[in-house]
Chains A and B, each alone.
Chain A
């Protein structure tokens, strides 16, 4: 449970490794988008960190690239190692 003073709508950035994993697998944005059922533009938004996916979409992406959700998404920047 979170503290009562915490805003329900506070925007917490969600970092992800989608672009790195997708590139390693040799998938285009369009191909990944088709696999998870979204528009290719949405994959771009996700990769740039401009959109945080729903749990369902995060699970679909993790299934599509065969990586656990915890490896793909995090609340800390994996490049900087800080929040």
Chain B
């Protein structure tokens, strides 16, 4: 390994950081070597993404709960912090669990890791295609969600959840499929 820490700008990772993840240097995360624990993380991440997307319906939800304005702000803020912590936390652990394979460049991976990374991206691409198709079907044929109207629901949370899903789906697939390490 060269002394200089190479930065892979397009992937958003560094050589040293990726190598550290790939070589299990951190013994604190041994519990992530078990497939069952990684699958629990996957479920938590998916739950976080769904809850984040549900933030778009904040206006509908709070109006049906009949809360005072102050309570509404406190409840929503606490819920938002918890959901963001859950999503970001699960995502960070997922990346450690799959040793950053999803974001690693070819030159730092072996042929099996490259194969599993590429097939995971293919699965992620297909999953996002079906998700977008599902959203379109709901928007055109389902109930009026009023996602992008002033004084109505705020569709931006759904977009943020979708973008986060784009980033985390390859790691989700790798974490689900890899056996105990």
Asked if B110 and A39 make an inter-chain contact with CB atoms under 8 angstroms apart, the answer reads yes
Across the interface, A57 reaches (CB within 8 A) one of B109, B111, B113, B181, namely B111
Chain B, range 140-177, C-beta contacts under 8 Å to A: none
> Could you say which interface size class chain B belongs to?
under 10
Are A39 and B22 in contact (CB-based, < 8 A)? Answer: yes
Residues in B with CB closer than 8 Å to A50 are: 179
Which residues in B have their C-beta under 8 angstroms from that of A37? 110
Give every chain A residue within 8 A of B4 (Cβ-Cβ): none
Cβ 8 A contact of A53, one of B22, B111, B113, B179? B111
A37-52 vs B, Cβ < 8 Å mask (1 yes, 0 no): 1110110010000110
What B residues does A70 contact at CB under 8 A? none
A54 within 8 A of B: yes
Q: Point out the residues of chain A lying under 8 angstroms from B109, CB to CB.
A: 39
Chain A residues with CB under 8 Å of B3's CB are none
In the bound complex, what is the Cα–Cα distance between A37 and B108 (angstroms)? 10
From residue B52, how far is it (CB to closest CB) to chain A in Å?
A: 32
**Per-residue CB proximity of B107-122 to A under 8 Å, as 1/0?**
0011111000000000
Measured in the bound complex, the distance between the Cα atoms of B109 and A50 in whole Å is: 18
Question: How near does chain B come to A82, taking the closest CB pair, in angstroms?
Answer: 27
A interface residues with partner B (beta carbon < 8 Å): 37-39, 41-42, 45, 50-51, 53-54, 56-57
Q: Interface on B for A, CB 8 Å cutoff?
A: 22, 109-113, 179, 181
Could you list some 9 contacts between A and B, CB below 8 A?
A37-B110, A38-B111, A39-B22, A39-B112, A39-B113, A45-B179, A50-B179, A53-B111, A57-B111
Apart from A51-B112, A57-B111: 18 A-B pairs, beta carbons within 8 A: A37-B110, A38-B110, A38-B112, A39-B22, A39-B109, A39-B110, A39-B112, A39-B113, A41-B181, A42-B110, A42-B111, A42-B112, A42-B113, A45-B112, A45-B179, A50-B179, A53-B111, A54-B111
